[in-house]
Amino acid sequence: MRTIGMVLWVAVCAVTWGQESPARWLQRALQAERTLSVAGMHVNTFQIRGRLEQIRERFWRRGDSEIRIEVAEPKSRQGEVFLYREGQWVRWRSGEPIASEVPQMPYMASELLQVVVEWLRRGWLEVTALPDESVAGRACVVVSLKPNRPVPPRSPMRPPNRPPQGRPEGPPARFPVHARLWIERETGLVLKREFTVRPGQTWIRSEVVRIDFAPRLDEALFRLPPGVTVRQLSEQGFRTVKEAQQVAGFPLRLPTYLPPGTWRERILVRRRPPHESPLVAIRYSCPQGHFTLFQTYQPKSRFKPPKHLQQTCLNAHFWEDDGSWFGIVGDLPKEEMEKIARSLSRDR
């Protein structure tokens, strides 16, 4: 009897050892992302309002400290190179003498895993293991992640190792409604990831299609060619309203009311053709979600509020004031968004 018991115990141990918990796999993935030097190709596919986009990229990386990405497709973007080192992304085109800083992404892969591991520990995410799948010819464990409902007050989403960059300590951005990670069994590297922001509408998937676990990484790969100078962040994102104001070409208005715990994530000035007024987008994050304020100069245009927005579960409000068109789009309750909108009005 004792022998049978021993055999059973050993069997149980062997099975549990062979089937690590999803949380353990995430820990392994985090370690792999931080340390492995790899090269290969991945494909990013994303859908926004029914439109599907794809970017195919070659990559070389030394853990999460040095990364080089070259856009291979679409053809119009061939020659674009993104370099990451010392906490800053830089973009340039092959053959051009000037590179420009790129705004920091919310999460590097390792930072995202670190946040996920922390949230799991606190019980804010629900994790399940799905049947194994193969990615780029490698066996992968598939981990599914969903935020618990109702979402509790959460710790800062800011990756723990990154300086605040103006973002106050506060509640995090919203986690996607569903995330799946394909973690390679042998090395723990995440070979595929999929985030669903709005089911059936908005999602992004990144899949490795070719990988080399023992690449020869020349130092020059992670450096700008001699003679290329770096221009400070300005091309697409702006750190301050003042900077954006200079490019916008019309007076920007800011809300005097913001929900408690709101912080400004970024400012974009989306250039239209040169003879047209640009669209300015100021993105905010708060405990209830994200919202974006829009403004453009529309002289001599008739404004009639839109009746309905197609295929969206977002709240939105649009209005006109003194030749400018405004808009607010986001996940916040309608009343809250209208309150923010009113605070932008000159006649409040």
Partner 1 sequence: MNCKQVEQKVWEYLDLTESERALLEAHLGRCDSCQAVWALAQCTLMALQHLPRYTASEACKARLRQRLQQAKPAPTRPRFQLRWKPLALAPALGLLLAWFWFKGSGMNSGETAQITSSYTSVEEYAQACVELHESLDVADWAPTPAVHYWVNMSNTR
User: Binders of partner 1 among 94-133, rule CB under 8 A?
Assistant: 96, 100, 102-103, 105-107, 109, 112
From 12-20, 252-260, 314-322, 338-346, give the range in contact with partner 1 by CB under 8 A: 314-322
Closest CA to 141 of 187, 194, 182: 182
Structure tokens at 229: 């100078």
* Of the residues 234, 288, 343, 345, which one makes contact with partner 1 according to CB under 8 A: 234
Contact 213, 287 (CB under 8 A): no
Query: What residues form DSSP beta bridges with 61?
Result: 38, 67
Candidate segments 14-22, 162-170, 213-221, 279-287, binder of partner 1 by CB under 8 A: 279-287
Provide the minimum distance between the beta carbon of 82 and partner 1 in the complex, in angstroms, as a whole number: 5
Q: Quick check: 168 binds partner 1 (CB under 8 A)?
A: no
CB burial of residue 311 (10 Å; 0-12, 13-18, 19+): exposed
**Least distance to partner 1 from the beta carbon of 77, Å?**
8
Size of the site for partner 1 (CB under 8 A): 84
Q: 199: which residues sit within 8 A by CB, 6+ positions away? A: 177, 178
Question: Quick one: which of 23, 46, 138, 224 contacts partner 1 (CB under 8 A)?
Answer: 46
324 binds partner 1 (CB under 8 A): no
Which residues is 133 bridged to in the sheet? Answer: 140
**One symbol per residue from 184 to 223: x for binding partner 1 (CB under 8 A), - otherwise; what is it?**
---------x-x-xx--xxxx-x-----------------
**Among 128-136, 141-149, 222-230, 305-313, the segment contacting partner 1 (CB under 8 A):** 305-313
**Mind giving me the DSSP string for 4-68?**
HHHHHHHHHHHHHHHS--HHHHHHHHHHHHHH-EEEEEEEEEEEETTEEEEEEEEEEEETTTEEE
**Least distance (Å) between residue 17 CB and partner 1:** 31
- Using CB under 8 A as the binding rule, the residues of this chain from 47 to 76 that contact partner 1 are 48-49, 53, 55, 57, 69, 71
Angle between helices 22-35 and 109-122 (to 10 degrees): 150
Note the maximum CA span of the chain: 91
- Contacts with partner 1, 4-23, as mask; x by CB under 8 A: --------------------
